[in-house]
Amino acid sequence: MSRRWIPTIVCLGLAITFNLSWAQGGKFPDQLIKVIVPFAPGGGVDQSARVLARQMQTRLGVAVVVDNRPGASGTVGSKVVQTATPDGYTLLYSAATHILIHLVMSKPPYDPVNDFAPVARVGEAPLMMVNNAHTQRTNSQRSH
């Protein structure tokens, strides 16, 4: 993880602190914060969530744990957050695929726009599709 992400991560931690403490009217945070990652450990989303969790823990002074809940195109972890108490102690750290769930499931178990409250955009990751340069073309491709 490059150092250029640190300001973004710090901003997210501060945004969470100020937004949620104002809404609750009390001292926030005063207990463990769970960051749910709806993907398997070791991937890019998981790695950046762990960097964020370390920064949040240092700045907020409470334990921040990453809880991986992979499965069903991210819906397993997302459902955990959707059904959690809306107190700011359970956060979803997901990718853009979260908002696109209706494209891969005919009946998603949640509405990605109305069932969640966005906190911050943490980063971007470019995607690229590549192919072997020596791949043979199929008959249908040759006719065009």
Rounded Cα gap, residues 79 and 104, in angstroms: 16
Residue pLDDT, tens place only, 125-137: 787 888 888 877 6
Q: Cβ distance 66 to 49 under 8 Å?
A: yes
113 Cβ partners below 8 Å, 6+ apart? 99
Instruction: Domains for the chain: give ranges and CATH numbers.
Output: 3-125 (3.40.190.150)
Residue pLDDT, tens place only, 50-78: 999 999 999 999 999 999 999 998 999 99
Question: What's the whole-model pTM score?
Answer: 0.71
